[in-house]
Every structure is written in structure tokens, then in C-alpha cells.
Amino acid sequence: MAVSCGLEKTDFEGASFENTDRRNPVLTRIPYLLKETLLGLLRGGWMNWAAVSTVTVLLFLLGLGLQTTWQVEKLANQFGSQLEVSAFLKTGVDAKTLTPFVQKMPGVAAIGTVSKDEAWATMAQELGLADVKGATEQLSGNPLVDEIRVKARSPQILPTLVNALRQLDGVDEVQYLPEVLQRLNQLNQGLNWLGLAIVTLLTSTALAVITTTIRLIVVARRREIEIMQLVGATSLWIALPFILQGLVFGLVGGALGWGGVAIAQLFLRRLVANQPELLQSLAQALQLDASQTLMLPLILLGFGGGVGILGSLLAVGPLSSQR
């Protein structure tokens, strides 16, 4: 039976679907895959641009969101480590006797001590007392106690550190600013949830656009697909060019999205360069480290490729039931 739909023999030349080359049949089919992938991209027309632009916007916002999250987390760690925990000791307890035990606690970055005499002298100066000695005698001695000031390595460790200090024998009271830490954590969590919602919405949109694009290409080539099925092509082999097209959409969108993030970073650096020194120092402190700078484009390319492949799989899924 002869089947004709305007296709020449050369259209499937080199893409034999029988296992004729038992040495390495996959390598002999790579040129066919590349050719079919390019042909599908050319037939996609403006829908290719719609798919790539949607993925680009998605990954651009994802890149900005990741960068902002890392920067806010870094800022929270910096501010959190600046929050001192003040441990006021019981009357008669010397701060120097407890310092070695505090140093052994996990998460301690630095320790400072304030003796009751130093605290009393500072308070008298702030109150404007001229006769410190007389005031001390009137109060029957120094009413203050020794204090140990502790800085944590990260804001996350602060609650654990506070509990450990409170359980230390000789400590009367522990004070710190939990509301500041709480607000920083709430800000970080809020940004994470907002970023997750935006990324989820845009991911769904990108999947819909890529799926629609691939399906239109499949419909345009349905006659060729029918012939390929008749000559013995498997569903996986027919679907591979379309899956590669989705991968191309994702990778191109990831590269463009990363380019947009890089341009935004450059613009902000130039903008901050003309600002006061305080803002310049803050911007310098919030720059990504080397590992984050390397991870960001890899994450964008990987996520873009994954979205492209998933969209293609959703589009070519019905091919498996057309045998």
C-alpha cells in the first residue's frame, strides 16, 4: 500500500526506525532529531516568541526574587548578629566566673562583660551625679549587678541561646529584643510567600503557553506523525523532537532572564554609586557571594529547562495513545 502526503523519501532518510545499525543506533538518529527540532521551531512562528518571552519574564522575576531573598536573609543575619543578649547576674556573682561557660555555648559569636562598678559609673554620668561616692553611700553600696553581653552568630540561634543563658546558674535575668528579630523574620517569610505565589502563577502561565505552542506544532505535523507511526516509529521517538523544542524554549528563556537580572544589577550599582556613602556601604554589604552568583544562573537555566520539558510532555502526551 502506498501512502503519499507530499513527503519525499529523503524526509526520513537516516531516521530508520528499525534497529538496522546495531553498533550504535542512537548516534545515527541524532542528525534526524536535530533536523526535526529545528523544523518544529521554524514552524512555530510567533508562538515561539510567546513561549520564550513568557519563560523569560518568569525566570527574570524568579531571579530577582531569589536575589532579594538572599539579600534580605543576609541583612537579617547581619542585624541579628548585632542584637546583643544581656544577661544580668545575681547579686555577688562575678561576670568573669561565668564567662568560660558562656563561651562554650553553641552559636556564640562574641562576649563582653560590664562590671557593676562600670555600669554604676556610666549611670551616674548619664544622670549627672557629681558626687558618685556620696550617692553610693546613701544607697548602702552599688545597687547594680554584673552583666554579660553576648552576640549570636545568626538570628536563628538567638532563642536557643537565650534559653541556655537563663538556665545558667548565677544568671538572674536575660534581656534582648525579640520583636526586632521577629519583624526581620516576618519580612523574610512574607517575601518568600509573595515570591512563591508569583512564581507559581507565572510557571502555570509558561506551561500553558509552551503546551499550546507544542500542540499547535504537533497538529501542523499530524500527517507526518501518522506516517512515522505506520513505518514503526515509537511514541517516544516521535515525541523527542517536540521535547527538545520545549527544552530550547526553557534554556533560551533562562538565558534571557539571567541577562535581565544582570542588567538590573548593573543599573542598581550605577544608581547607588551616586548616592551617599551610607547607602553605598549598605549596597556593598548586600552583594551576593561567589557561590550565590554562580548558583543563580544555574538555577534559572535548570528551572527554565524543566518548565520547557514539562510543557512539552503535557503537549505530546496524547501521542502515546495514538498507536
- What would the pLDDT profile of 130-151 be if each residue is shown by its tens digit? 666 666 666 677 778 888 888 8
Would the pLDDT of 260 be above 50? yes
The answer to which of 2-6, 113-117, 244-248, 270-274 has the lowest mean pLDDT is 2-6
> CA 141 to CA 136: how far, in whole Å?
5
Q: What is the pLDDT of residue 5?
A: 40
What is 84-176's CATH topology? Alpha-Beta Plaits (3.30.70)
Domain ranges of the chain: 26-77+183-318, 84-176
**Region 258-282: what's the mean pLDDT?**
76
pLDDT digits (tens, 9 = 90+) for 50-100: 888 888 888 888 888 888 878 777 766 666 555 678 888 888 888 888 888
pLDDT digits (tens, 9 = 90+) for 141-198: 777 888 888 888 777 787 888 888 888 888 888 887 666 666 767 777 787 788 788 8
Query: What DSSP string runs through 263-304?
Result: HHHHHHHHHHHTS-HHHHHHHHHTS--HHHHHHHHHHHHHHH
φ and ψ at residue 289, rounded to 5 degrees:
-80, 180
pTM of the model: 0.59
Beta strand pairing status for 108-114 and 147-152?
A: antiparallel
Output 86 or 231, whichever has higher pLDDT.
86
- Residue 205 grid coordinates: 502561565
Would the pLDDT of 18 be above 70? no
